[in-house]
Amino acid sequence: MDLKSRKDIVFLVLAGFFITNAIVAELIGGKLVQFFGLFTQSIGIILWPVIFLLTDLINEYYGKDGVRKLTYITVGLISFTFIILSVALSIPATDFSPVSDSVFKSVFGQSQWIIVGSIIAFLLSQLVDVYVFWSFKKITGDKHIWLRATGSTMVSQLIDTFVVQFIAFVLPGKWPFDEFLTNASWGYAFKLLVALALIPMIYLGHYVIGKYLKKHTTVAI
């Protein structure tokens, strides 16, 4: 198998996991839970560490265009998913359906504010992540992988966390502003800790991909 074929396979695997995690995070995002009794967050936050890692790996091996194209595709697929769910919600269930309309709506009938907020926040944070990642790389070159990966995540997730919660909960009046600041700040702190904990996984991912490709290169797609 030639190098280009190997790169294509790696991209398909990374992109598949990236898109799957992003869509699943959106689908389960309507459920709010308390973490450590300190702050309230969407349960979807548990999947975002995987997306952090995948974004960094795609950035490193496929460049800014690779992440941007994949981000636009993912936003389109998330939007398509919610359109299909809206259609499904509008069609009444039969009397003998094992899943009633009320149960189906309670699971998939997320607030439009949450949907809009999550899509906007995801798009903005990913584009910012690309910009910050490559700004760091201009300074560090191929050294200090942890710095550009963690640094870009710290900036992008600040935007993601505060934007999505402001649109989803403050604008519709569900949370007062002080509660928003508390939850968003704790949520951001949680993401920072996870980003730091993922540093070994970033290096492991680089090692596995680099060994498979035989060399570290950035390719255009």
Q: pLDDT by residue (tens digit) across 117-151? A: 989 999 999 999 999 999 998 888 878 888 888 88
**Which token pair is 8?**
């294509």
- Give the total residue count for the chain: 221
What pLDDT does 219 receive?
43
Indicate if the pLDDT at residue 220 is higher than 50.
no
Instruction: Calculate the average pLDDT of the chain.
Output: 88
Q: Which residues contact 51 (CB under 8 A, 6 or more apart)?
A: 18, 21, 22, 25
Domain 3-213 in this protein, CATH class = mainly alpha
pLDDT in tens, 178-190: 999 999 999 899 8
Each domain of the chain, given as residue ranges in start order, spans 3-213
pLDDT in tens, 14-73: 999 999 999 998 888 888 888 888 788 888 888 887 888 899 899 988 999 999 999 999
Nearest Cα to Cα of residue 50 among 194, 210, 193, 206 = 194
**Which token pair is 210?**
């680099």
pLDDT band at 9 (very low <50, low <70, confident <90, very high): very high
pTM reported for the whole predicted model: 0.85
